[in-house]
Amino acid sequence: MKQTIFHPAASRGSAHHGWLQSYHSFSFAGYYNPERMHFGVLRVLNDDTVKGGMGFGEHPHDNMEIISIPLQGDLEHKDSMGNTTVIRNGDIQVMSAGTGIYHSEYNKHKEETVKFLQIWVFPNKKNVTPRYDQITLSREERQNRLQQVLSPDPNDQGVWIHQDAWFHMGNFDNGVTTRYDIRKPGNGVYAFILHGKFSIDGQEMSDRDGLGIWNTESIEIMATSDNAEILLMELPMQLN
């Protein structure tokens, strides 16, 4: 029997540090909610806004798949693997932390705000060799349809991670409907609304609302406003 859990935007945890405003869909740092530790292997979904010239200093990670999706502005990345890059809206970045990495992320510009999603996914393999990847996607390919941006397959569209997960993004006009079919039996889907309004399997949603759905083979999505933007994350529901 299909099951769902709805996380209204206003129910998220938050942290305000002056230079950083962060909203947490799941327990993170000073926000702890035993009912919201993770959704399957989706451990962190942070909605971050960073002031000009500010950012996260060098810090470590290990045994986690870390995905960054910029929504506004330019984010400068440096890591212990020797990568120095800038990620922008339309890009998607992934790091397999594996045996351990250090990295930093800063707003590249002094006068502009950066907004991005920071997503952590538990891997299906531990202690892999750390890896970095970044690609630029065509936003036109997600107009009124779902564009795959992440998968488990290095030869498939988008970036890849060490997990049986598929991420899609879409931009829809009011009234457009689509169906998403689960790729792997037993997986669930966490839908996150970036902008606008949707009805997903009858659940009305708007900016920054989240909806987890599992024990189903497909979900029905309808945009109920213009310029409605969504991120769908299909992931295993069982931790390895």
- CATH of residue 25's domain is 2.60.120.10
Residues 17 and 103 in one domain: yes
CB burial readout 167-190, b (16+ within 10 A) else e: bbbbbbeeebebebebeeeebbbb
Residue 5 lies in a domain: no
Cβ atoms 225, 29 nearer than 8 A: no
Tell me the pLDDT of the chain (240 aa) as tens digits: 999 999 999 999 999 999 999 999 999 999 999 999 999 999 999 999 999 999 999 999 999 999 999 999 999 999 999 999 999 999 999 999 999 999 999 899 988 999 999 999 999 999 999 999 999 999 899 999 999 999 999 999 999 999 999 999 999 999 999 999 999 999 999 999 999 999 999 999 999 999 999 999 999 999 999 999 999 999 999 987
Residue 7 lies in a domain: no
Tokens standing for residue 96: 């397999």
- Number of domain units in the chain: 2
Spatial separation of the C-alpha atoms in residues 24 and 237, rounded to whole Å: 20
- Containing structural domain, residue 199: 139-236
Residues 96 and 170 in one domain: no
Give residue 240's pLDDT. 74
Spatial separation of the C-alpha atoms in residues 151 and 111, rounded to whole Å: 35
Residues 66 and 120 in one domain: yes
Residues 145 and 211 in one domain: yes
Q: How far is CA 86 from the centre of its chain?
A: 18
Residues 147 and 209 in one domain: yes
Give residue 167's pLDDT. 98
Residue 201 lies in a domain: yes
The DSSP code sequence of 135-154 is EE--GGGGBTSEEEEEES-T
Spatial separation of the C-alpha atoms in residues 105 and 225, rounded to whole Å: 33
Residues 75 and 47 in one domain: yes
Kindly list the strands in the beta sheet with 74-79, ordered across the sheet, starting from the edge strand earlier in the chain. Answer: 55-61, 101-107, 74-79, 84-88
Write down which residue in 126, 157, 186 finishes a domain. Answer: 126
Residue 131 lies in a domain: no
Say what the pTM is. 0.97
DSSP-based three-state secondary structure for 173: coil
Cβ atoms 106, 53 nearer than 8 A: yes
For the CA atoms of 214, 219, 223, 229, the dihedral, rounded to the nearest 10 degrees, stands at 60
Residue 132 lies in a domain: no
Residues 166 and 117 in one domain: no
Residue 133 lies in a domain: no
Residues 74 and 148 in one domain: no
Spatial separation of the C-alpha atoms in residues 45 and 230, rounded to whole Å: 14
Residue 55 lies in a domain: yes
